[in-house]
């Protein structure tokens, strides 16, 4: 017998009237359990504390139940009593009492259960049904949008993955959060930090830098910018090594310029103390081979994950970052470097400056979504080279877009006077050979200071500076001389492709 045409895959695709979710299907729901949960909340004020982290208003299938739950949580937030009368008064004040079925509805709910003993178990089932409905909703949206030829396929993939990621994390996206919950989260975080020894964020491994930043903070976008040859890649690799080996914090590195093997070779040079040139040529004596074999073990076990996909788009980056966080608990992301990224298919209609702005905003969005710091390297314009004096970089030197400065929580520059044949620091006249300065020019939540570091060019390695002039041998930290007037004075636009790739 021939199958009915309407049941064939092609017919289903072409039928404009066939509901995406199927014919006659009822969305997953547990109305009786919703009533049991609300009834427990009405008879036991302490019941809400058991489920406040599990349930949200949108977890309930019935709209009336959503209104009642919102009224209960509002009373709880104001430390008011929770019972039939107070909830009814709250709903009446909001003009929703009749919508939920009046006081009779509340009385009926309170008789559904005799205690709140099983409220957590019931609440989890309610949430499971909500997640099922969300998966159906997301799937239906994706099916509908996939048939629309005007949609960008990469954006569609990114949207689907983001929605599914939110569901899998049990953190379904909300339109807003009230100040009550936000204050609770902030106080809880402050208490957690106060009990923790050391830094509140991800340590860089450089004492002076960590003293200024207290570690790289969650949700922060950190820009590290410099001219080619200053050591941008060397700095972040040194930090990645410190985080992964010394502090056992998983690090994700996206290298758009160098291959993953080249980066690991640099890390091997830094870890073993064998020059990068020797490693490239393989001219190692017996002692150096033994040194390589023994010291590389720590690097093998380090939780460093390197992706060297060239021309990475922000959409691919977001997807890869989500997987790194979900699968490997990555605590920080490093991107080398920002100007080599693309905004993605269909986003190149504007000029390069607009594209960089899109990339910058996306990086900040990734940091906020995953609640981890994101470090992005950036090139500086040639205005630095044409400037007289010490050639210190300024915020206006950030190449191609002022949006980078706007979106970043921290903007810092690497400055090595030795690169310009300058052998003394301009502020105190001390020798500067083999040294570098990390200039923190913008710090949204902290001070502007300069931190001097030791730089070993043969191994492309940064480390703390043993500064004999500083008390106790501590790394030297200087107050930043950057100011808005100086930054505005040297604003220069350049060709976005005017630079060679950096040496370090």
Q: Can you say whether residue 79 is alpha, beta or left, with left for phi > 0 and alpha for psi between -120 and 50 degrees? A: left
Report the alpha-carbon distance of residue 254 to residue 162 in Å, rounded: 20
Report the alpha-carbon distance of residue 316 to residue 163 in Å, rounded: 15
CB-count burial class (<10 Å; 0-12, 13-18, 19+) for 350: exposed
Tokens 């003009």 correspond to what residue? Answer: 95
Catalytic residue among 58, 120, 141, 257: 257
Q: What residues contact 208, with CB distance under 8 A and at least 6 apart?
A: 438, 451, 452, 453, 464, 465, 474, 475, 476, 477
Report the alpha-carbon distance of residue 271 to residue 441 in Å, rounded: 30
Strands 477-479 and 449-456: antiparallel
CB 305 within 8 Å of CB 252: yes
Sign of the C-alpha dihedral computed for residues 182, 188, 194 and 198 taken in this order? negative
Report the alpha-carbon distance of residue 169 to residue 329 in Å, rounded: 13
Q: Is 145 a catalytic residue?
A: no
CA atoms within 13 A on the CB side of 313: 13
- Positions marked active-site: 257
């Amino acid at each position: 017998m021939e199958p009915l045409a309407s049941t064939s895959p092609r017919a289903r695709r072409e039928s404009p009237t066939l509901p995406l979710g199927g014919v006659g299907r009822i969305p997953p729901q547990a109305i009786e359990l919703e009533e049991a949960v609300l009834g427990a909340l009405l008879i036991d004020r302490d019941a809400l504390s058991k489920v406040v982290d599990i349930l949200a208003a949108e977890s309930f299938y019935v709209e009336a139940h959503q209104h009642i739950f919102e009224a209960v949580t509002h009373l709880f937030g104001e430390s008011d009593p929770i019972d039939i009368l107070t909830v009814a008064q709250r709903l009446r004040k909001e003009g929703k009492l009749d919508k939920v079925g009046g006081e009779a509805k509340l009385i009926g709910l309170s008789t559904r259960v005799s205690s709140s003993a099983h409220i957590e178990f019931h609440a989890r089932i309610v949430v499971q049904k909500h997640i099922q409905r969300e998966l159906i909703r997301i799937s239906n949206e994706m099916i509908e949008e996939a048939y629309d030829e005007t949609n960008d396929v990469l954006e569609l993939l990114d949207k689907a993955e983001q929605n599914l990621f939110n569901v899998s994390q049990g953190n379904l996206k909300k339109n807003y959060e009230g100040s009550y919950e936000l204050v609770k989260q902030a106080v809880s975080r402050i208490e957690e930090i106060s009990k923790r020894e050391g830094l509140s964020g991800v340590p860089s491994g450089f004492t002076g830098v960590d003293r200024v930043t207290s570690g790289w903070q969650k949700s922060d976008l950190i820009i590290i910018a410099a001219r080619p040859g200053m050591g941008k890649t060397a700095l972040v690799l040194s930090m990645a090594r410190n985080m992964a080996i010394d502090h056992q914090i998983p690090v994700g590195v996206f290298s758009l310029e160098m291959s993953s093997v080249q980066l690991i070779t640099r890390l091997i040079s830094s870890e073993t103390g064998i020059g990068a040139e020797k490693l490239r040529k393989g001219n190692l004596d017996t002692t150096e081979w033994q040194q390589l074999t023994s010291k590389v073990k720590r690097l093998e076990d380090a939780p460093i994950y390197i992706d060297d996909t060239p021309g990475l788009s922000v959409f691919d980056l977001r997807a890869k970052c989500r997987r790194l966080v979900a699968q490997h608990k990555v605590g920080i992301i490093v991107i080398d470097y920002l100007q080599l990224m693309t905004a993605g298919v269909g986003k190149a209609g504007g000029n390069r400056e607009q594209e960089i702005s899109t990339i910058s905003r996306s990086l900040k969005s990734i940091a906020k979504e995953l609640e981890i710091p994101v470090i992005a390297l950036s090139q500086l314009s040639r205005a630095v080279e044409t400037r007289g004096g010490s050639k210190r970089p300024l915020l206006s030197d950030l190449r191609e877009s002022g949006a980078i400065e706007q979106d970043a929580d921290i903007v810092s520059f690497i400055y090595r006077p030795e690169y310009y044949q300058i052998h003394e620091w301009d502020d105190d006249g001390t020798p500067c050979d083999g040294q570098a300065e990390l200039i923190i020019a913008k710090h949204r939540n902290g001070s502007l200071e300069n931190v001097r570091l030791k730089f070993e060019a043969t191994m492309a390695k940064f480390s703390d500076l043993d500064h004999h002039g500083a008390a106790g041998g501590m790394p030297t930290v200087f107050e930043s001389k950057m100011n808005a007037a100086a930054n505005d004075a040297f604003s220069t636009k350049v060709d976005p492709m005017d630079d060679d790739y950096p040496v370090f």
